[in-house]
Amino acid sequence: MPDRTSAAARIRSRDTALPWITTPILVLFFIAAWQFYIGAGEVSALILPSPGAVWTAWLKLLQSPRGWQHTLTTVHETLVGFGIGLAVGIVLGVLIGRIRWLEATLNPFIVAIQVVPKVAFVPLFIMWFGFGITSKVIVAAVLAFFPILTNTVLGVKSVDAGHRDVMTSLNASRFAVLRRLELPSSLPYILTGMEVGVVLAIIGAVVGEYLGGNIGLGYLLISRMNAFETDGLFAVMIHMMILGFVFYFGVGVLRRLLIPWHQSAWLDRVH
């Protein structure tokens, strides 16, 4: 038994350390290939800037107060939209998962809305709510809502029937069943939906800024494109990618705090 435990610990330690080695190597290889392609092909900086030029443009973005204003605006829109999508998605998902007639009634409408590209709603929201932050928040909320809703419904419906019978035999109220059984059992599904939803919320906020607005990373992206500042364009894209990683990592930390007993929390430690 001790040998098996130590072997499992070694495997887990190796799997945990491996990404910290392979990821930097892949990033360095990609940057080297990028630089080699530019040098060998004599590519115009207007088409593809060098990694050094992009790095310099990103540092300028970090040192610019205006750049941080754009960043904080996008972060605010993302968090508020994600919070709205999270609250509505969980509440509605629990109701749909528990009430069959409600699921049968709403499912055609949910499917109909899901098959429509969400970007198509952006001009409509801008017409309704203007070019301010409100329209971007709503776009972010709509994009975050659906993965959270579907995963919550799946989580509630996947609760073991035997566990429900035990709670019923103990004369537990519907609220007690929800609080002590259904929500804890659904947390892995809800957190998976949150991981997808928070990334989609960023996309929604940026697309909203892209199509209508005068502040935010989406607007900054368009302004760099219109000015033919390709290095600045790449810098903003990298900035948004890092922002997405931060939000995704935040949900991963929340997963380890809320469900440390679940296998997905251990997989987060590995990756």
Mean pLDDT of 58-71: 89
Does residue 198 or residue 50 have the better pLDDT? 198
Q: How confident is the model at residue 270 (pLDDT cuts 50, 70, 90)?
A: very low
Mean pLDDT of 246-261: 82
Q: How far apart are CA 220 and CA 122, in angstroms?
A: 18
* Mean pLDDT of the residues in the chain: 81
pLDDT exceeds cutoff 70 at 269: no
Farthest CA pair distance, the chain: 76
Least confident of 48-62, 82-96, 148-162, 197-211: 148-162
What tokens does 94 get? Answer: 């629990």
Nearest 5°: CA angle at 122, between 117 and 124? 110
pLDDT digits (tens, 9 = 90+) for 201-244: 998 888 888 877 788 888 898 888 888 888 889 999 999 999 98
Nearest 5°: CA angle at 77, between 76 and 83? 90
Mean pLDDT of 156-164: 72
Mean pLDDT of 9-20: 59
Q: How far apart are CA 176 and CA 189, in angstroms?
A: 20
Q: How confident is the model at residue 48 (pLDDT cuts 50, 70, 90)?
A: confident
Q: How far apart are CA 156 and CA 255, in angstroms?
A: 18
pLDDT digits (tens, 9 = 90+) for 108-154: 888 887 777 777 777 888 888 877 888 889 989 999 999 999 999 88
Q: How confident is the model at residue 271 (pLDDT cuts 50, 70, 90)?
A: very low
Which of these, 193, 195, 118, lies nearest to 156 by C-alpha position?
Answer: 193
Residue 162 burial (CB count, 10 A): 8
CB 89 within 8 Å of CB 144: yes
Determine phi and psi for 46, rounding to 5 degrees. -70, -30
Contacts for 177 with CB less than 8 Å, ≥ 6 apart = 164, 167, 168
